[in-house]
Amino acid sequence: MGSSRNDVISAELMPVVSSLTSDRKHVPHWYLYDTRGSEVFEETVRTSSSYTVWKHEHALLQRHVAEIVSQTPSPAMLVELGSGASSKTRPVIEAMIERQGALTYVPVDIAKDFIEEVSRELERDYSALKVEPFGGLFMDGLRHVAGRPEPKLLLFLGNSIGNVPIDEQVDMMKEIRTYLNANDRLVLGLDMNAERKALLKGYRAPNSRGLSPFLNNFIDRLNKDFDGDMDKTKFEDIVDFVQNPIEGDTPSYIRKYLKSSELQRVHLRKLGVTVNFAAGEELYLSAGPNYSCKFSEHQVRRLADKSNFAVQVSRKSLQISIQAVTAGEQSVVRETLPGRILQDIPLQPSFPKTFNMAVRLGMTSLTRHVVRMARRYSDVSGDLRYVVSSLTSERKRVPHWYMYDTRGSELFEEIARKSSTYNLWQHEYTLLQSHMKDIMSAMSSPATLVELGSGASSKTRPVIEAMIERQGVLTYVPVDIAKDYIEEVSRELEREYSALKVEPFGGLFMDGLRHVAGRPEPKLLLFLGNSIGNVPIDEQVDMMKEIRTYLKAQDRFVLGLDLNTDRESVMKVYHTGDRRPWLENIIDRLNRDFDGNIDKMKFEPTTDFVQNPAEGDTPSYVERYLKNTAMQRVHLRKLGLDIDFPAGERLYLSDGPNYSCKFSEHQARRLAEKSDFAVEGLFANQEAKFCLVCLAPK
């Protein structure tokens, strides 16, 4: 990567930069659909002789719209994720207006200008229709309407779920489920064509020597957004098909990418960034392996089952069975339709009347979990819905950030400062005292101090004092999930340092970094306490690259990394009794947030250590979980949710396999190199158990 400029791009484009500069170069799927991309795609799907999904889905909706609409209480509102031109939606709009007289329609699409124009056109065509377009990502749009009291018919058509990375589809469906009530319905459009020859023909460019207009527009957009010079004549459109067994849970899928025909250096001048494409290197058009999944009927039903939905009605084209299932009754009809296989499934949150609006939902594992749902997920805040999804996943877990509420932060600070075995705090504090002048020497002054995961800011004081001494006054932006806690810490700091202005940001790390990214003054960014080691291993480089996109050439980034890979001492650190109150606070918080009855005395804190070679790129790591010692059924009364914990089951304290990584010096340097940072200084303590790494954006 080349040198950085001071230009600031919009926050929504930051993930695109991170994707382009990742080890597996790719662009997020949504980026293909700006206004022009949406127009070109709409034209392609409606006129193509080989890509016939639009035609068959439209025909299915026309044929079965009355049946679909009848599944939702009236009057209802219509919501559509990835609406595009809403051309397939018109039969649904017409049927709902005919049924209830008037209709509110909320189309959700990334192409804001495009759907606003489509919305005006729809309101001209239908006098009884009120359109409220939402320009943005799917989940943001769904959150936007989740609190409305009226029933909702939610459309997710065009096989759009098949564009979501395979390993994220169930989680996305579960998240959708959390925003729906018992009287809502979800209609999925799914592509069931797994015939290799037809698929490869449908996804290849009409002109084999060039790119399709849709892909040409994507490169035009990249060049426009980043003032780039990507040469679309040097890329070839490649399509593969990966066929998986129809009786398995993993769908078949299209893999689509652009292959660079020769070595080229692409300059993104708006960022001062250069991206190298080797001859034959691939630029994928999706974040996951799949550009578009192709499902079997078994896979469709498994997707619904895993996501806590019941299949109420199924309609498919070609030789198919149509099933309508409600509360245990089943009817089967058979019919034959010509054309490509495609399925529309109205899915309802699973609420059989025989359980008084409660449902038993199967969660596959060695033990079958029983879950009962009786109240709305809308009773809990958006950030806690992810916690619910994590608790009910096959690998039960709580996200790492959830442990750091105000009380959790206070307890952890006490452990870090007073523990006789956990010496990271002392090592890092000493290193900051010793090397702050070395770190600041490469920076312009005056600078702003920003800290991710600041906690009590106790280790930060040597930095604050050194910067005030150098520049007279200082602005400090601590970023931490425990908002109330850091606001109190901030007031205390301002009382102690008259030359200090503290602007606390309560929230997630990247949100805080976006908050300060546009400021013109140099920034010293701290990410201490081995916090990068708590990020899932396979996400660390991507997170570092995203951080890189918010920094300019004049900024510096200081990482604190744990270098202790001695198994005996590591296990001793995590097996001490002084951590018990902190771990119990996690259970206390779960019980408080969800009105639960989890018995913390039935959980045993357990630690494993996975040691990897110091010369490899993958760090060693601690695996940390609470092991259930006796069968217990946990009631989360705020949700009407029951979760079974069999004896021996684990509740992991991290999203990824690693609770905390332990790095070698080689791995620290490789992490920086992969993330487009230059190591300006690496300062280790005498025992080589901890280090500070000062990084400069390349």
- Residues 444-481 have pLDDT tens digits of 889 999 999 998 898 899 999 999 999 999 999 999 98
Report how far Cα 364 is from the mean position of its chain's Cα atoms: 23
Tell which wins on pLDDT, 364 or 627. 627
Structure token pair of residue 554: 């004049």
Question: 190 in helix, strand or coil?
Answer: strand
Round to whole Å and give the CA distance between 384 and 378: 10
Of 260-264, 316-320, 570-574, which one has max mean pLDDT? 260-264
| pLDDT given at position 253 | 93
Tell which wins on pLDDT, 90 or 637. 90
Looking at residues 240-269, what average pLDDT do you find? 90
| pLDDT given at position 344 | 41
Provide the mean pLDDT of the chain.
82
- Does residue 254 carry a pLDDT above 60? yes
| pLDDT given at position 10 | 61
| Residues 185 and 71: beta-carbon distance below 8 Å | yes
β-pairing, 292-294 vs 448-452, is unpaired
| pLDDT given at position 348 | 44
pLDDT digits over 13-24, tens only?
777 877 887 778
Question: Quick one: what percent of the chain has pLDDT higher than 70?
Answer: 84
Q: Is 79 exposed, middle or buried (0-12, 13-18, 19+ CB in 10 A)?
A: buried
| pLDDT given at position 42 | 74
Predicted confidence band of residue 275 (pLDDT cuts 50, 70, 90): confident
| Residues 109 and 116: beta-carbon distance below 8 Å | no
- Does residue 589 carry a pLDDT above 70? yes
- Does residue 76 carry a pLDDT above 90? yes
Tell which wins on pLDDT, 308 or 631. 631
Round to whole Å and give the CA distance between 469 and 450: 17
| pLDDT given at position 70 | 84
Domains of the chain are: 11-28+196-291 (no CATH), 53-192+295-391 (3.40.50.150), 408-566+667-697 (3.40.50.150)
| pLDDT given at position 50 | 62
Predicted confidence band of residue 618 (pLDDT cuts 50, 70, 90): very high
| pLDDT given at position 354 | 24
Question: 222 in helix, strand or coil?
Answer: helix
| pLDDT given at position 4 | 38
Beta strands in 364-504 (DSSP E): 369-371, 448-452, 474-480, 500-502
Predicted confidence band of residue 269 (pLDDT cuts 50, 70, 90): confident
Tell which wins on pLDDT, 404 or 548. 548
Nearest alpha carbon to residue 521 among 545, 501, 544: 501
- Does residue 359 carry a pLDDT above 80? no
Give the HSE-up count for residue 481: Cα atoms under 13 Å, Cβ half-sphere: 15
| pLDDT given at position 689 | 85
Nearest alpha carbon to residue 299 among 201, 191, 227, 155: 191
Nearest alpha carbon to residue 399 among 249, 560, 509: 509
| pLDDT given at position 322 | 25
| pLDDT given at position 666 | 95
pLDDT digits over 375-402, tens only?
344 455 656 777 887 887 778 999 888 8
| pLDDT given at position 6 | 34
Q: Is 110 exposed, middle or buried (0-12, 13-18, 19+ CB in 10 A)?
A: buried
Least confident interval from 129-138, 162-171, 188-197, 650-659: 188-197
Nearest alpha carbon to residue 115 among 134, 143, 129, 128: 134
pLDDT digits over 345-355, tens only?
444 443 322 22
| pLDDT given at position 496 | 95
Predicted confidence band of residue 361 (pLDDT cuts 50, 70, 90): very low
- Does residue 516 carry a pLDDT above 80? yes
Round to whole Å and give the CA distance between 223 and 237: 18
**Interacting residues of 399 by C-beta distance below 8 A, sequence separation 6+:** 386, 387, 390, 654, 655
- Does residue 291 carry a pLDDT above 50? yes
Least confident interval from 244-248, 335-339, 496-500: 335-339
Three-state secondary structure readout of 568-580: HHHHHHHCCHHHH
